[in-house]
Amino acid sequence: MTNAKSAVLLLSGGLDSYTAGAIARAQGFSICALTVRYGQVHAREVDAARRVARALGADEHLELSVDLSALGGSALTGGSAIPKDRRLDDDEIPPTYVPARNTVFLSLALAWAEALGARDLFIGVNALDYSGYPDCRPEYIDAFTQLADLATKAGVEGESFRVHAPLITLSKAEIIRKGLILGLDYGLTHSCYDPDSDERPCGRCDSCRLRARGFADAGVADPLMTT
Amino acid sequence: MTNAKSAVLLLSGGLDSYTAGAIARAQGFSICALTVRYGQVHAREVDAARRVARALGADEHLELSVDLSALGGSALTGGSAIPKDRRLDDDEIPPTYVPARNTVFLSLALAWAEALGARDLFIGVNALDYSGYPDCRPEYIDAFTQLADLATKAGVEGESFRVHAPLITLSKAEIIRKGLILGLDYGLTHSCYDPDSDERPCGRCDSCRLRARGFADAGVADPLMTT
């Protein structure tokens, strides 16, 4: 079905996973993109994931549903209001944290990779995320990689999975610069958490504000804000 | 919503998870049971899970759907025929292995536990399973436990999750004996993998044959076979 150079990419439709996918392509991987409908209030991002998967020339784009909103515990799945105008450099883990979300996502990516015969997973977590979300830290990614080999038939048979997090040490501005060098059109992406915003981002949720600061620091205009 | 003594139990409707749940109850936990519809061909087991959750007096019983059959790679999700009359003590991992299934299940259980404020997860894996399935081995359970603390807000805040696998060293006969001492009615459970079997188990798939051998070794009759 696929060759040894295929990678499974977790693709949300935001700018990070788009950039992670472009890096995977630049490294010679063909892309099997996985988007999860997890009960996120900003399900509009899935439309962006479809545009981005096409732009990346993905071999396959699979959408899976698992309703994490039934489990509760997050503003991002409707448990409370999406915070606006929050202090961004707060030490606290924000209410948009979704319990164990990346573990659910990576386990689904691992399942698909094993079935495909792929051994490489890509996830767009980065330094900004891991200052707030525990499941974006380098030590978390390392622990999942170790688990992957213990969890699978492929691992027992002596193969190793690689979980690539190529943005993990990068700031948003560095991610944007890297993506622009790779020719990406960030106008395809969606970042806003607000379920009530229309095509235009709300500009006030954490995701909008981190994105705006990233474009400002990179010294370029966000195509979503110029149309 | 729940107190510190609640545990999330992964409940399939088979005899192992029923027994694991009864052990959790005997240890003083109240039960939040989680059953996953994952595209298993023997989805009839979910009816058994409902009966078992009632019998265990679960505080809650949540059914989540995630279609692992879309990812492929297993006879248990329709990728190939359910094997019949297979040599049971074969060293090979059987075609009923579902890629990364327990990692998907445990990650969902972890997400729910964190949202509930529970720190204990129960899973009914056992020695028979781990002679065939990689994600049933003690070293796998240990690795997931380590991951859980790195993956979560609760873990970052200094709390620890415990993944209980109380059957992990037990044979099927030992599990059955333990369950009978605890007063369990195994007539409520469903083990057969065959999607075409009616209420009566096929008797020829691995699951039926391991169950039959377990009851024979325990020296008791299987209530499913006597009605």
Q: What is the ipTM of this complex?
A: 0.96
Spatial distance between the Cα atoms of A56 and A78, rounded to a whole number of angstroms: 31
pLDDT reported for residue B131: 84
Structural domain tally of chain B? 1
Residue B145, token pair as written in the block: 């436990």
Stronger pLDDT, A130 or B133, i.e. the higher one: B133
Q: Does B71 touch chain A (CB under 8 A)?
A: yes
Residue A1 lies in a domain: no
Query: Is pLDDT above 60 for B28?
Result: yes
Spatial distance between the Cα atoms of B30 and B53, rounded to a whole number of angstroms: 11
Going by pLDDT thresholds of 50, 70 and 90, the confidence category of residue A73 is: very high
pLDDT of B136-170, one tens digit each?
A: 999 999 999 999 999 999 999 999 999 999 999 99
Structural domain of residue B14, as residue ranges?
6-226
Q: What is the 3-state secondary structure (H, E, C) of B93-162?
A: CCCCCCCCHHHHHHHHHHHHHHHHCCCEEECCCCHHHHCCCHHHCHHHHHHHHHHHHHHCHHHHCCCCCE
Residue B123 near residue B10, CB atoms below 8 Å: yes
Residues 6+ apart with CB under 8 A from B104: A104, A107, A108, A111, B36, B38, B66, B68
Residue B16 lies in a domain: yes
Show residues of chain A in contact with B115, CB under 8 Å: 71-74, 99
pLDDT reported for residue A16: 98
| A-B C-beta contacts closer than 8 Å | 148
Show residues of chain B in contact with A65, CB under 8 Å: 65-67
Q: Is A84 helix (H, G, I), strand (E, B) or coil?
A: strand
Stronger pLDDT, B118 or A128, i.e. the higher one: B118
Mutate to test the interface with B, among A65, A123, A146, A147 (most CBs of B within 10 A): A147
- Among candidate residues B94, B43, B73, B44, the one with its CA nearest the CA of residue B210: B94
Strand-pair partners of A177:
none
Residue B1 lies in a domain: no
Q: Does A180 touch chain B (CB under 8 A)?
A: no
Q: Please report, rounded to a whole number, the percentage of residues in chain B having pLDDT higher than 70.
A: 98
Once rounded to an integer, what is the mean pLDDT over residues A88-96?
87
- Put simply, the answer to whether A153 touches B97 (Cβ < 8 Å) is yes
Going by pLDDT thresholds of 50, 70 and 90, the confidence category of residue A2 is: very low
Spatial distance between the Cα atoms of A190 and A161, rounded to a whole number of angstroms: 29
Spatial distance between the Cα atoms of A137 and A147, rounded to a whole number of angstroms: 16
Q: Please report, rounded to a whole number, the percentage of residues in chain A having pLDDT higher than 70.
A: 98
Query: Is pLDDT above 70 for A3?
Result: no
Mutate to test the interface with B, among A108, A141, A161 (most CBs of B within 10 A): A108
| Stated pTM of the model | 0.97
pLDDT reported for residue A90: 77
Show residues of chain A in contact with B132, CB under 8 Å: none
Going by pLDDT thresholds of 50, 70 and 90, the confidence category of residue B130 is: confident
Q: Does B127 touch chain A (CB under 8 A)?
A: no
Q: Does A108 touch chain B (CB under 8 A)?
A: yes
Q: Does B94 touch chain A (CB under 8 A)?
A: no
Show residues of chain B in contact with A155, CB under 8 Å: 134
Show residues of chain A in contact with B139, CB under 8 Å: 150
- The CATH number for B63's domain is 3.40.50.620
pLDDT reported for residue B1: 45
Show residues of chain B in contact with A112, CB under 8 Å: 71-72, 99
Out of A66, A100, A156, name the one closest to residue B110 (CB).
A100
Spatial distance between the Cα atoms of A121 and A16, rounded to a whole number of angstroms: 15
pLDDT reported for residue A198: 74
Once rounded to an integer, what is the mean pLDDT over residues A195-201?
84
pLDDT reported for residue A227: 59
Out of A104, A114, A153, name the one closest to residue B107 (CB).
A104
Residue B33 lies in a domain: yes
Residue A121 lies in a domain: yes
Spatial distance between the Cα atoms of B116 and B132, rounded to a whole number of angstroms: 33
Nearest-CA distance from A146 to chain B in Å? Answer: 8
Q: Where are the beta strands (DSSP E) in A38-129?
A: 60-65, 120-122
- Put simply, the answer to whether B71 touches A97 (Cβ < 8 Å) is no
Query: Is pLDDT above 50 for B31?
Result: yes
Once rounded to an integer, what is the mean pLDDT over residues A189-207?
91
Q: Is B45 helix (H, G, I), strand (E, B) or coil?
A: helix
Once rounded to an integer, what is the mean pLDDT over residues B53-68?
98
Going by pLDDT thresholds of 50, 70 and 90, the confidence category of residue B227 is: low
Number of Cβ within a 10 Å radius of residue B49? 27
pLDDT reported for residue B147: 98
Residue A160 lies in a domain: yes
Out of B112, B137, B139, name the one closest to residue A71 (CB).
B112
- Put simply, the answer to whether B150 touches A156 (Cβ < 8 Å) is no
Q: Does B144 touch chain A (CB under 8 A)?
A: yes
Once rounded to an integer, what is the mean pLDDT over residues A4-13?
92
Residue A37 lies in a domain: yes
pLDDT reported for residue B217: 97
Residue A219 lies in a domain: yes
Strand-pair partners of B33:
B9, B61
Q: Please report, rounded to a whole number, the percentage of residues in chain A having pLDDT higher than 90.
A: 89
pLDDT reported for residue B2: 46
pLDDT reported for residue A161: 98
pLDDT reported for residue B143: 98
Give Cα B77 to chain centroid, integer Å: 16
pLDDT reported for residue B129: 86
